[in-house]
Copies of this chain bind each other. A is one copy, B any other.
Amino acid sequence: MFYGAIEAGGTKVLCGVGLQTGELVDHVSIPTRGPTETIRDIVTYFRSHPVSRLGVASFGPLDLDPRHATYGSITNTPKIAWRGVNFLQSLKNALQLTVFIDTDVNAAILAEYAWGAAAHLTTALYVTIGTGIGGGVLVDRRPVHGLMHPEMGHIGIRKDSSDAFPGICATHVDCLEGLASGPAIAARWQVSSQDLPSDHPAWALEANYLAQAIATYIYVLSPQRIILGGGVMQQTALLPAIRRAVASNLNGYIARRELLTEEIDHYIVPPQLGQLAGLRGGLWLALPSMDMEP
């Protein structure tokens, strides 16, 4: 039995086929263009790679309320051509399959829970810091949706007094994403984040901003582990600096050994599934076992 998986991002769409074990047996990358061309290429892939069910890990915001006529649509994205597109229904109609959908970050935490760094936990958070900043969270082993789904990258943080950069979020200007996403780093320092040396002051500022956000996520969600992924985290000096800043920020308030300096390396961790966490999360969504503990 083969299951299909999609991870739809702003620049590329990964399509893959996998097994119930979580193993991917094939995957391809398709450039993200307008919805018509992109969905046509996805459909072509799955016509030549037949699957029994399909799971979609998508950029958002998404309508994830199954009671709505617009269930599975992309809502107010800055990608204008995709606004209002019912991604779920388009795939169902074209492929005549059972299709499941969730946010890319909810899918990533589901995959890390099923096969990676959040195995055996019940409440865990995945944060991606890249072109944007977003978070997916499991509570009692299930992704949080609520009114819509979390949009964790848009919380307010305190600007450092040394930081004259105004921020780039189109809605909030200087929210976390506006100050600490990859494009914000590039705009502030006039150089791409992957070209900044590990001792550049950019990284201390970045660690400060991300640690503020992580402390807030700990106070609000009380996760058992936090996984940090995304392109900005490729700078390996960043993760230890974030751990130190989170411990300092919490200042001992949450009296749990997991948050002590000696233990925090096991609490704030990199993804185990690397760049394929989102695609494997799509696969997890497609599995009939989704409601069960892996």
**A201 at the B interface (CB under 8 A):** no
**A217 at the B interface (CB under 8 A):** yes
Of the candidates B146, B223, B251, B255, which one forms a contact with A123 in the assembled complex, judged by CB atoms under 8 Å apart? Answer: B146
Task: Name the CB-closest residue of B to A215.
Answer: B156
- The A contact surface, by secondary structure, is loop
Q: List which A211-226 residues lie within 8 A (CB) of chain B.
A: 212, 215-224
A224 to B149, CA, bound (A): 10
Of the candidates B61, B142, B155, which one forms a contact with A140 in the assembled complex, judged by CB atoms under 8 Å apart? Answer: B142
| A224 contacts B156, C-beta separation under 8 Å | no
Residues of B within 8 A of A155 (CB): 215-216, 219-220
A218 to B152, CA, bound (A): 9
Of the candidates B139, B148, B154, B157, which one forms a contact with A256 in the assembled complex, judged by CB atoms under 8 Å apart? Answer: B148
Q: A220-B152, A220-B221, A255-B76 are in contact. Are A147 and B123 (CB under 8 A)?
A: yes
A156 to B209, CA, bound (A): 12
Which of under 10, 10 to 19, 20 to 34, or 35 or more describes the interface residues of A?
Answer: 35 or more
| A145 contacts B123, C-beta separation under 8 Å | yes
| A221 contacts B219, C-beta separation under 8 Å | no
A222 to B218, CA, bound (A): 16
Residues of B within 8 A of A172 (CB): 251, 253
A109 to B202, CA, bound (A): 42
Of the candidates B154, B253, B256, which one forms a contact with A219 in the assembled complex, judged by CB atoms under 8 Å apart? Answer: B154
A61 to B221, CA, bound (A): 15
Q: Per-position contact with B for A195-237: 1 when CB-CB < 8 Å, else 0?
A: 0000000000000000010011111111110000000000000
| A148 contacts B220, C-beta separation under 8 Å | no
Q: A140-B139, A255-B75 are in contact. Are A219 and B152 (CB under 8 A)?
A: yes
| A171 contacts B220, C-beta separation under 8 Å | no
Residues of B within 8 A of A22 (CB): none
Residues of B within 8 A of A150 (CB): 219-222
Closest chain-B Cβ to A60's Cβ sits at a distance in Å of: 11
Partner-B contacts on A (CB < 8 A): 61, 75-76, 122-123, 135, 139-140, 142, 144-158, 171-172, 212, 215-224, 249, 251-256, 258
Q: List 14 A-B contacts (CB under 8 A).
A: A123-B145, A140-B140, A144-B221, A145-B222, A147-B223, A147-B254, A147-B258, A148-B256, A154-B253, A155-B215, A155-B216, A155-B220, A156-B215, A220-B220
List 10 A-B pairs, minimum CB-CB distance, nearest first: A146-B222, A123-B146, A76-B255, A139-B139, A171-B253, A155-B216, A220-B220, A147-B222, A151-B219, A147-B224
Known A153-B219, A156-B212, A216-B220; further 9 A-B contacts with Cβ < 8 A = A61-B254, A123-B145, A135-B220, A139-B144, A146-B223, A147-B218, A147-B222, A147-B223, A156-B215
